Amino acid sequence: MISRILPLILASVLLLIPCLGSATDNTHVLRNPDELKYEYLHFTPPSAERIVLENGIVLYFFRDDELPLLNVSVVLKAGSMFDPERKEGLAELTATVMRTGGTKKMSGDIVDDVLEFIAGTLTASVNKEYASFGLSILTHHTDHALDILSQIIMNPAFEEHKLTRARDLKIEELRRIADDPMRFAFKEFNRLIYNDNPRGRSPLISTVRGITRDDLLQFHKKFFHPGNMMIAVSGNITKEQVLITFRKYFGTWNVPRADRNIPPPLPVMPAGGIYFLKKDIPQSIIISGQLAPSKKNPDSFSFEVLDFIVGSGGFRSRIFNEIRDKMGLAYSTGSFYRARGDYGVFGTYAMTRAESTATVLARISGVLNDIRSKSVEKNEIEWAKKSIINNFIFSFVSAEHIARQQLMIEHEKLPEHYLINYRDSISSVTAKKIEGVASRYVLPVEKSVVLIMGNSDAYQQAVSSFGNVQVIEGKL
């Protein structure tokens, strides 16, 4: 062990009060934290390099040599909103069985064996908009792992027995969904908020049961081609290596561009109302929601500030402050604003004991009415803007974040300089703009979609306070 005195620090130490057995009151020496001075932090968002392979695949690349790791993320417009009617669950099963069901060169079992032996991880996941495959490996296995990844993407075998297993597991997952009240509630909320839009579709036991290997092959053929795909690459690799490796494994893929997939129509605003889903739990789950500006809409910046103030800005945001802090009626509560390239959803949530269901919903309604009808004070806006702007650098904390973030900008067809201009856009939000978006977009609770999940006591309250309550059955 090397021990030595740090002369620099010792000097300042001598001025300090020696340690005593009892608590020392140092309050008189502490400066007001608001008066602390900080050095200016210059930050230019780091930029991933955009590379286009000869067959049209777009790659975003960011190098970081600190650790011998490589992360690859393949994103395709093949999300669950492209599930054909009565085949809900197809996008997800396709991605899952691509991962597990082998390729034309290797069986599924061998793929698993090889990947796990080299301690690589390869995940397949699907959300409403896109399918995504994430590979993480130690760099000295790059060639081997990318060979497998490319086969999985381009030439999956969809082994029948792996499909059977994946289907069985999905059915069991759906059978069990009501065991997790929160998950169940959000699933049902999504169905209500997206209404008849394809985004509102979700797998049911009956639709999953009807999915065949042929359906998977068709779905793969339609959505998996170079023009529909982007890749983010980050880690311990040079640009030359990226070019060589990705050309080698993905560059020869030249399937004729299948049907141009037409994006589903934008969601239509569903009819508002209170929906009740019965579940015998001591706490009610209350979710309200409505459509909101898309990311492409310039109003989205003002709306983001509005949402921060209403309920996503932590302890100081209004819903949290009212329902948790002042009333002590919930542990989890707040608002959310999920904006995508083409649309957005804004909503609120709270989990509260059954007996305060009506009180909490009334308070949420009050907060929403306030934001619609009263102007927001300058301090509150400045606090929200400052918070969002100062937090911006956390979108760039790792090479993986940086590459993936930029990929998503292009994927959602946002302006090229979206990130560069982001802070200025937030900065330019004013009280007037917030008033504008509040009156244009925010609906009173009774016109939004409200889902309450809870016991019969919660139901009685909902009925006596709001009158018209529609009881729904959760779909499995």
Q: Does 420 bind another protein (CB under 8 A)?
A: no
Contacts of another protein in 139-168 (CB under 8 A): 165, 168
Nearest distance, CB of residue 77 and another protein, angstroms: 27
Name which of residues 36 to 75 contact another protein (CB under 8 A). 36, 38-41, 43, 64, 66-69
Binding flag, residue 174, another protein (CB under 8 A)? no
Under 8 Å between Cβ of 210 and 239: no
Radius of gyration of the chain (CA): 26
For 211, counting Cβ atoms within 10 Å of its Cβ (0-12 exposed, 13-18 middle, 19+ buried), the class is buried
Q: How far is the CB of 432 from another protein (least distance, A)?
A: 22
Segment 83-142, which members bind another protein (CB under 8 A)? 100, 112-113, 116-119, 136, 138
Residue choice 86, 326, 413, 417 for contact with another protein (CB under 8 A): 326
Contact with another protein (CB under 8 A): which of 324, 363, 404, 411? 324
473 part of the interface to another protein, by CB under 8 A: no
Please choose, from the candidates 194, 200, 68, the residue with its C-alpha nearest in 3D space to the C-alpha of residue 140. 68
Of residues 329 and 339, the one with the C-beta less far from another protein: 329
CB distance 131 to 124 below 8 Å: yes
Residue 379, interface with another protein (CB under 8 A)? no
- Kindly state the smallest distance separating residue 260's Cβ from another protein, in Å: 36
Query: Which residues 422-441 are close enough to bind another protein by CB under 8 A?
Result: none
The answer to the question of residue 19 lying near another protein (CB under 8 A) is yes
Q: Identify the three-state secondary structure at position 7.
A: helix
Locate 218 and state its tokens: 């068709």
Q: Evaluate whether 239 touches 64 at the Cβ level (below 8 Å).
A: no
Site for another protein in 269-298 (CB under 8 A): 279-283
- Closest distance to another protein from the beta carbon of 33 (Å): 5
Q: At what angle do helices 90-100 and 142-154 cross, to 10 degrees?
A: 140
Q: How far is the CB of 400 from another protein (least distance, A)?
A: 8
Closer residue to another protein in complex, CB, 181/344: 181
- Which strands, in side-by-side order, build the sheet including 449-454? 333-339, 344-353, 283-292, 449-454, 273-278, 469-472
User: Does 389 contact another protein by CB under 8 A?
Assistant: yes
Stretch binding another protein (CB under 8 A), from 13-21, 124-132, 411-419, 442-450: 13-21
Q: How far is the CB of 131 from another protein (least distance, A)?
A: 19
- Rounded Cα distance, 321 and 380, in Å: 13
Smallest separation, CB 401 to another protein (Å): 9
CB of 267 to another protein, least distance (A): 30
Angle (nearest 5°) at CA 185 between 180 and 186: 105
293, two tokens:
């500006």
- Contacts (CB under 8 A) with another protein, residues 220-239: none
Nearer to another protein, 148 or 291 (CB): 148
CA distance 303 to 311: 12
Regarding 4 and contact with another protein (CB under 8 A), the answer is yes
Residue (111 or 450) nearer to another protein, CB: 111
CB environment 282-308: b (16+ within 10 A), e (fewer): ebbbbbbbbbbbbbbbebbbbbbbbbb
Stretch of 18-26, 187-195, 264-272, 409-417 lying at the interface with another protein (CB under 8 A): 18-26
Q: Which of 34, 240, 259, 473 binds another protein (CB under 8 A)?
A: 34
The verdict on 2 binding another protein (CB under 8 A) reads yes
- Taking alpha carbons only, the member of 92, 87, 174, 81 closest to residue 132 is 92
Please work out the total of residues on this chain that contact another protein, with binding judged by CB under 8 A: 94
269/272 Cα distance (integer angstroms): 8
Question: Looking at 104, 315, 467, 473, which residue binds another protein (CB under 8 A)?
Answer: 315
Q: For 236, phi and psi rounded to 5 degrees?
A: -80, 75
Whether residue 379 contacts residue 365, with contact meaning beta carbons closer than 8 Å, is answered with: no
Q: Binding to another protein (CB under 8 A): which residues in 331-360?
A: 331-332, 351-353
What DSSP line would sit under 211-269, residue for residue?
A: --HHHHHHHHHHH-SGGGEEEEEEES--HHHHHHHHHHHHTT--PPP-SPPPPPPPPPP
State the minimum distance, in angstroms, from the CB of residue 26 to another protein.
6
Task: Tell me whether residue 415 is exposed, middle or buried, using C-beta atoms within 10 angstroms of its C-beta: 0 to 12, 13 to 18, 19 or more.
Answer: exposed
Question: Which C-beta is closer to another protein: that of 390 or that of 464?
Answer: 390
